[in-house]
Structure 1
C-alpha cells in the first residue's frame, strides 16, 4: 500500500556545495567549469531553485563569480578545506530557515523532485540523504538546523567523514530509482562524456 504524499510544510533553503579543491578536475573550481556552455553550478541551480524557498552557495574561491547568479555566497567558517561538512556547517549557520537541502555543484542532472522526496522520506529524522540503486549520495541531503552544534563538535574533533556524521545523527537514506540523475562530473573525462549527451 502506497504511503500518502506528505507535502512540504516549511520553507527550505537550497544550498549548492561548491567549496572543494577540485583535485580530480586538475585543481579547477569545479562549479565554474563549463558544461554545454554553462558553468556546472548553474545547471544545479536551475534544477534546485524551483524546489526551495531560496538558494545560497557555499564556495571558498571565486565568490564574486558565484554571486553573479544573484545568490548569497558563504565561505567555510571552519578553517582549512575540511570537506563538504564544513560547507554544510557554514550554510546551516547562515540559513534563515529550519531546513536546508544540499546539492553538490557537480550533479547537473538532479531530479525535479529531489527535495520533495527527501522531505517525504525523512519521517521524524533530522537528516536524510539520497540512496540510488547503486550507492549512497551523502552530499545530496536534507538537514535540520538543530544539528549545528553537533556538526561543529564533530569537525572540532577532527572528524571529516560525511556518511559517519549522517548516521551518527540518526539520519535515514531515501531511495531514488533514477540513478542517472545523480551522475557526478568529477574529472575532465566525465566533463567530455556529458558535454553533448543532454
Structure 2
C-alpha cells in the first residue's frame, strides 16, 4: 500500500477576507482548517500544514507547519512546493484550508484514477478544483523552476507535467470553499 502525506494549504494572505488568516476563522465553533484536518487525516499517513503566519496556532493541531520557501506569498503553488519538499512520502495530497466538506475518500479516488500521471486533481460537475490534488514529489524541482520564472497558474503547471482531472460526480456543495466574510456567514447559516 502506498503511503500519502496530506498538506493543508493555509499560507495565503486572505485578501478577500480582509487580510484575516482564513484557516483560523471559526465555523461551527472551530477553525476552518480543523474541519479540513478532520476529513483529510484519516485518508493519509501524516499531515503537514502550509502556513506563513500564526504558526504557533497551527502547531496546536500537532501537525508539522511548513512555511513557503519563496517570499511574498506567491500563491498555492508555493505552498504545494513546500509540502512536496517536506513530504516523507512519494505522493502528496493537497487540500485548501477553506474547503471544509471535502469528500472523505478523495485521496483514494484520485489515486485509483491517476493512471501514470504524476499529478491529478478533482473536477466536480461544474468546475476544476486544482487545490484538491494528488501530486508526486518528483515534480518539486520542476515546480521550483516554474515559480522562479514568475509562473503562478496551478492547473497549467499540472497539465504541462502530464497531469489530468479526475471527475467527481457528487453534490457540488461538497466542494464549496469559503472565500469572503459573506461565504462564512452563509456557511454558518447552512449548518
Give the alignment's TM-score, normalised by structure 2.
0.98
* One of 63, 66, 69 as aligned partner of 1:74: 66
Matches within 5 A, 1:1-198: 9-178=1-170, 179-198=172-191
Q: State the aligned residue count.
A: 190
Q: CA deviation at 1:88?
A: 0.5
Unaligned runs of 5+ in 2: none
Unaligned runs of 5+ in 1: 1-8
RMSD (CA atoms): 0.7
Q: Whole-Å Cα distance in 2 between the matches of residues 195 and 36 of structure 1? A: 7
Q: Whole-Å Cα distance in 2 between the matches of residues 160 and 68 of structure 1? A: 30
Give the alignment's TM-score, normalised by structure 1.
0.94
Q: Whole-Å Cα distance in 2 between the matches of residues 124 and 167 of structure 1? A: 13
Contact preservation (8 Å) 1:36, 1:196: no
Q: Whole-Å Cα distance in 1 between the matches of residues 46 and 164 of structure 2? A: 24
String of CA shifts for 1:55-111, please: whole Å, max 9, x gaps.
110000100000000000000001211000000001110100000000000000011
Q: CA deviation at 1:196?
A: 3.6
